[in-house]
Amino acid sequence: MNMACIGDADPFTAAIPATKVELTVSCRNLLDRDTFSKSDPICVLYTQGIANREWREFGRTEVIDNTLNPDFVRKFILDYFFEERQNLRFDLYDLDCKSDNLSKHDFLGQAFCTLGEIVGSLGSRMEKPLIGIPGKKCGTFIVRAEELSNCRESVMLQFCGNKLDKKDFFGKSDPFLVFYRSNEDGSYTICHKTEVVKNNLDPVWQAFKIPVRALCNGDYDRSIKVEVYDWDRDGGHDFIGDFSTRYREMSRSQSQFHVYEVLNPKKKEKKKKKYQNSGTVTLLSCLVDTELSFLDYIRGGTQINFTVAIDFTASNGNPSQPTSLHYMSPYQLNDYAMALRAVGEIIQDYDSDKMFPALGFGAKLPPDGRVSHEFALNGNPQNPYCSGIDGVMEAYYQSLKSVRLYGPTHFSPVINHVARYASAVTDGSQYFILLIISDGVITDMAQTKESIVNAASLPMSIIIVGVGPAEFDEMIELDGDEERISSQGRYAERDIVQFVPFRDYIDRRGNHILSMARLAKEVLAEIPDQFLSYMRTRGIKPGPLPPPYTPCPPPGRPPPPLQTGKPNLKDGGLVSAPACRLSSPLSASSSSYSSLEAFEQHGETPSLSWCTFGNVEPRE
């Protein structure tokens, strides 16, 4: 299958979205800004671009008159990308007149979050206090995300041709079909190409399966163009003709054939009234299938647990020198810190406790100088957890001051470390992601391969980021894109490793925010498919959804606290769920800094942010 990206003005959102989600907004106990009645609230959604970090209005709900507890009917529909940090801002206003100018209305408060935070919350429902008016309690903001069902559909299509034009001098034609999805700007993007049927004017092409979002971006009425070509060995394929259809039209063909005329405008212009068509193409079958999605499991309570492992070998250079890859500049993050923050700030949204185990390898540890390839960055081997990404960063910086960089570079101990805990939780309730950041040659290649082959049967993925100028041949081999990794004759059950060299994603103009965004987009894009491949091969279904939310609790009674069933930290130790009760602490819990509020209150912007644009639609 030849899949292409959606053409879009923003190169960092120019990908087929994982799905579309619909956001429903409610508020409780808003400020009353009207003298003789209650407020008339409206909610305005803003998304944030990565390049200039400007907030741009995405859409508005309807106005609800005379209430402090609105349940807005109009929904926000956004493209969702797991691998991107999609920052959102919701502003509430009390409308005082008919003007569209928001400055003419009373500000009621605002809430900041990411789209990942919303879908990663229990039941994809999130509550936050509204902020923005000093000294005032602005009420509670509630948002719920729901995946649009049409984005989970795949369709199996089969076509045949009849009496197609003869294009070859010594034969007939070697026809194939090319499918194009139409874009918002009127352009077309290739989304599928069939095989070539040799020497046949009445070809029957093989059935193929394609996600509906790839065929029409989830819009059933979007135009789909199909071009018919005669294949030529030199690549100069002859155009036979084309036709257009829509997914809604094709889906109606499940009970009957649908015949399309293939038309060639140049040939029609030349032959005038004598021209009828250049043959026909018939849709033989259209079978629609709805598949379980990544968000089904997240909504069902599956937690994404994140562990980071950092290379402390001597090849990184003396951390006190600016030439070192570990150098702590007061002006900017080093590559290790950028890679850690870029990946961690996205994965954090899918873990409830926001606690990260952070490991190091390849250093001599105090006080005796023993070499360790699996040590806790916070110095506590019994509890390697750090509070959020900021906690991991602090532990990383403190480790650089206390350990001595040494070697060699061994990956297998940290892989086995996380695999031990992944092997104890194979029921689909947790999925483990290990981020390894390293600068060079792996010295335990055979053991690392064996560890990866073993881990491939567990709920686990491995991200390897190479930093610095070294060659990364061994890491490329571990990636397994060209050839499935094997050890002692055993092949990995599935591809669980994604490797990227950070230098390929560094912005040449020195925009580190852009560099981090590019890196995160590349290394995280495969995670949902790796996640689903594990769940599907094990026959694991998503957990049950939490009870539906009742928008209006009894007056004066706050809703009960949410229970996640997630392991919790208590009195400095880890209290594990029964499935995770191990002799030492679980080393792959996860997550980090969740809210953007602190950034905004201090007049700063978050370190990683960008947006995608969609539509605001009322629910029928």
Q: Over the stretch 198-210, which tens digit does the pLDDT of each residue have? A: 999 999 999 998 8
* CATH number, domain with residue 394: 3.40.50.410
For residue range 341-386, what is the model confidence (pLDDT) as tens digits? Answer: 999 888 888 888 889 999 999 999 999 999 999 999 999 999 999 9
**Domain end point (choices 269, 290, 311):** 290
* 309 and 235 housed in the same domain: no
**Domain end point (choices 537, 561, 587):** 537
For residue range 272-300, what is the model confidence (pLDDT) as tens digits? Answer: 888 999 999 999 999 888 778 888 899 88
* 301 and 424 housed in the same domain: yes
* 359 and 457 housed in the same domain: yes
Domain extent, residue 430, equals 295-537
Within a domain: 93: no
More confident residue, 252 or 92: 92
Structure confidence at residue 255 (pLDDT): 64
Within a domain: 214: yes
Structure confidence at residue 612 (pLDDT): 27
Residue 17 confidence class, pLDDT cut points 50, 70, 90: low
Within a domain: 160: yes
* 223 and 192 housed in the same domain: yes
Asked if residue 51 lies in contact with residue 613, where contact means CB atoms within 8 angstroms, the answer is: no
Within a domain: 259: yes
Residue 611 confidence class, pLDDT cut points 50, 70, 90: very low
What is the 3 state secondary structure string of 285-331?
A: EEEEEECCCHHHHHHCCCEEEEEEEEECEHHHCCCCCCCCCCCCCCC
**Domain end point (choices 243, 262, 290):** 290
Average pLDDT over residues 303-312: 95
- Taking the C-alpha atoms of residue 415 and residue 418, their distance in angstroms, rounded to an integer, is 6
Within a domain: 121: no
Within a domain: 75: no
* 193 and 214 housed in the same domain: yes
Beta strands in 392-477 (DSSP E): 404-405, 430-438, 460-466
* 250 and 312 housed in the same domain: no
* 335 and 427 housed in the same domain: yes
Q: For the chain, what is the domain count? A: 2
* 504 and 393 housed in the same domain: yes
* 224 and 317 housed in the same domain: no
* 384 and 480 housed in the same domain: yes
Distance of CA 22 to CAs 25, 71, 131, 300, 619, Å? Answer: 10, 15, 24, 17, 10
Mean pLDDT estimate for the chain: 82
What is the largest distance, in Å, between two alpha-carbon atoms of the chain?
Answer: 93
The model's pTM is 0.63
Residue with tokens 């004759």: 489
Within a domain: 311: yes
Which of 10-14, 189-193, 609-613 reaches the highest mean pLDDT?
Answer: 189-193
Within a domain: 563: no
